[in-house]
């Protein structure tokens, strides 16, 4: 006992890796998470739950597993090489390969921004009756201020706050309805293909793995400036990055699942099929009360704003990477990338008569580009020249190429369905 008290008085204890150190590594994954709880996912999830009840929850589980593997792999690239996916493509592949893929990736980020800005504008219309066009302008202005005046760390904290609001909103909504938990549990783990469900299955899968998120994760993982001078440091960072990715993607899985649960317990139970986000909000009000409808619109606004921030950052990273530079909002290449993505997306919204159709068109563009980004990523992480001793194992390469093929086939089927 005496030795214990003496030991307590000491101030020179060896420092051990403690639980609080985990929080130094959380943040990049949450920036990526908002990409698959964006307005496009909302539309797919509410359609799935309202038309097929709990039976398509397994699609969220499968797509999240695929996303975890791909996002961990691309973060692996960023940690080991110190390059984002765009920089690595510019450095290690011929221009005739990298330039077309990165160019189309910028177009995909514009398409993504269009969907995210539209989501924010639709939410503002729900809350304040602001016309879609002016709501889009306000959303773009707010996001631009966030991007051009805040550092990585401040943006991470903002995104964490936005994701928290979205998560808490759906927890509140779920307390208002009666969930058939045995049916939901079966739906999460049992694949089923109800008649007429293939289009929605493919849209849910296709909306989860998005090209701009792969570029973004490889970039933001470096923002923490980890010590990677030796193998031990790299292995530690890889371990905690995996934790960050798992933690963040599970949150995304839970929020996407909550959307389907809510739609199944309200609309499917009442025999109502939801086809538009405005319709979902207007139908929630008589079923669950005005508070539920307001919370729904507020969560959609948070999703639109946060996902627009990440799509803008992704565009800056991709464009800067074409010139062999990393993302930094004070750098002209990054600024041009951000402005191209947000500016062109906003301009296009002025010519879109049907916002819901605009969301569909944006997803089609992403479907065309996604396979190129996934195969580029897997090719780079499977190259010993790029990754050195951290190259993908044969088993990892097989799994990654299998996922790449599945994602490609599903997105092509979605495009031509």
Distance between CA 371 and CA 365 in Å, rounded?
12
CA angle 96, 210, 196 (to 5 degrees): 120
| Between 290 and 388, residue with greater pLDDT | 388
**Of the segments 96-105, 162-171, 205-214, 287-296, which one has the largest average pLDDT value?**
96-105
Q: Is the pLDDT of residue 177 over 90?
A: no
DSSP tag of 18? -
| Between 81 and 2, residue with greater pLDDT | 81
High-pLDDT (> 70) share of the chain, %: 78
Mention every residue, 6+ apart, whose C-beta is less than 8 A from residue 159. Answer: 30, 31, 34, 306, 309, 310
Average pLDDT over residues 345-350: 90
Which pLDDT belongs to residue 343? 94
Least confident of 35-44, 135-144, 210-219: 35-44
Average pLDDT over residues 329-344: 90
Catalogue the long-range contacts made by 398-405 (C-beta closer than 8 Å, 24 or more residues apart). 399/69, 400/69, 400/70, 400/73, 403/66, 403/69, 403/70, 403/374, 404/371, 404/374, 404/375, 404/378
Average pLDDT over residues 124-142: 91
Q: Is the pLDDT of residue 140 over 90?
A: yes
Which pLDDT belongs to residue 388? 86
Which pLDDT belongs to residue 284? 64
Which pTM does this prediction carry?
Answer: 0.82
Task: Give one word for 180, left, alpha or beta, with left for phi > 0 and alpha for psi -120 to 50.
Answer: beta
Which pLDDT belongs to residue 22? 44
Task: Give one word for 16, left, alpha or beta, with left for phi > 0 and alpha for psi -120 to 50.
Answer: beta
**Of the segments 221-225, 299-303, 407-411, which one has the largest average pLDDT value?**
299-303
Catalogue the long-range contacts made by 322-326 (C-beta closer than 8 Å, 24 or more residues apart). 322/86, 322/90, 322/98, 322/99, 322/102, 322/103, 323/90, 324/87, 324/90, 324/91, 325/87, 326/83, 326/84, 326/87, 326/219, 326/222
Q: What is the overall mean pLDDT for the chain?
A: 80
Distance between CA 411 and CA 405 in Å, rounded?
10
Distance between CA 360 and CA 38 in Å, rounded?
13
Tokens found for residue 240: 């905690």
CA angle 280, 285, 288 (to 5 degrees): 105
Q: Under CATH, domain 31-416 is a member of which superfamily?
A: Amino acid/polyamine transporter I (1.20.1740.10)
Q: What are phi and psi of 288, to 5 degrees?
A: -120, -10
DSSP tag of 13? P
Tokens found for residue 203: 């849209």
Inter-residue contact 267 to 284 (CB < 8 Å)? no
Which pLDDT belongs to residue 19? 42
pLDDT tens for each residue of 68-124: 889 889 888 988 888 889 999 999 999 998 899 999 999 888 988 888 898 889 889
Mention every residue, 6+ apart, whose C-beta is less than 8 A from residue 225. Answer: none
- What CA dihedral angle connects 159, 164, 170 and 176, to 10 degrees? -150
Q: Is the pLDDT of residue 359 over 60?
A: yes
Task: Label residue 12 exposed, middle or buried (CB < 10 Å: 0-12, 13-18, 19+).
Answer: exposed
Domain ranges of the chain: 31-416
Which pLDDT belongs to residue 363? 65
| Between 38 and 78, residue with greater pLDDT | 78
Catalogue the long-range contacts made by 146-153 (C-beta closer than 8 Å, 24 or more residues apart). 146/305, 146/309, 147/309, 147/312, 147/313, 147/316, 147/329, 147/338, 148/329, 148/335, 148/338, 152/220, 152/223, 153/27, 153/223
| Between 193 and 157, residue with greater pLDDT | 193
Which pLDDT belongs to residue 21? 47
High-pLDDT (> 90) share of the chain, %: 17
Tokens found for residue 136: 């889009």
Distance between CA 266 and CA 288 in Å, rounded?
8
């Amino acid at each position: 006992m005496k030795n214990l008290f003496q030991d307590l008085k000491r101030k020179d204890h060896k420092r051990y890796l403690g639980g609080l150190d985990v929080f130094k590594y959380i943040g990049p994954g949450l920036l990526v998470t908002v990409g698959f709880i964006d307005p496009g996912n909302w539309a797919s999830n509410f359609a799935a739950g309202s038309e097929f009840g709990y039976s398509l929850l397994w699609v969220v589980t499968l797509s999240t597993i695929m996303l975890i593997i791909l996002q961990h792999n691309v973060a692996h690239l960023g940690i080991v090489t110190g390059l984002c996916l765009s920089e690595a493509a510019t450095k290690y592949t011929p221009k005739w390969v990298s330039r077309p893929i990165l160019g189309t990736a910028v177009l995909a980020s514009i398409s993504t921004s269009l969907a995210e800005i539209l989501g924010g504008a639709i939410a503002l219309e729900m809350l304040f009756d602001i016309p879609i066009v002016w709501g889009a302008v306000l959303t773009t202005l707010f996001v631009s201020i966030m991007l051009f005046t805040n550092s990585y760390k401040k943006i991470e904290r903002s995104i964490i706050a936005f994701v928290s609001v979205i998560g808490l909103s759906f927890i509140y909504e779920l307390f208002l309805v009666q969930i058939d938990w045995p049916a939901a549990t079966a739906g999460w783990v049992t694949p089923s293909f109800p008649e007429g469900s293939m289009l929605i299955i493919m849209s849910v899968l296709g909306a989860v793995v998005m090209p701009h998120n792969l570029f973004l994760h490889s970039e933001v993982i470096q923002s923490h400036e980890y010590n990677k001078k030796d193998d031990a440091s790299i292995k530690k960072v890889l371990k905690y990055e995996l934790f960050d990715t798992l933690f963040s993607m599970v949150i995304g899985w839970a929020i996407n699942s909550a959307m389907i649960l809510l739609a199944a317990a309200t609309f499917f139970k009442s025999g109502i099929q939801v086809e538009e986000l405005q319709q979902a909000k207007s139908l929630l009000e008589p079923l669950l009360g005005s508070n539920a409808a307001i919370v729904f619109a507020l969560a959609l606004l948070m999703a639109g704003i946060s996902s627009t921030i990440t799509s803008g950052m992704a565009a800056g990273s991709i464009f800067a990477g074409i010139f062999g530079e990393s993302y930094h909002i004070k750098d002209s290449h990054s600024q041009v990338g951000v402005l191209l993505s947000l500016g062109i997306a906003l301009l296009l919204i002025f010519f879109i008569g049907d916002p819901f159709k605009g969301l569909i068109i944006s997803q089609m563009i992403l479907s065309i580009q996604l396979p190129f980004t996934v195969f580029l990523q897997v090719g780079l992480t499977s190259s010993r020249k790029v990754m050195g001793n951290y190259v993908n194992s044969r088993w990892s390469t097989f799994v990654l190429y299998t996922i790449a093929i599945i994602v490609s086939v599903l997105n092509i089927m979605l495009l031509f369905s």
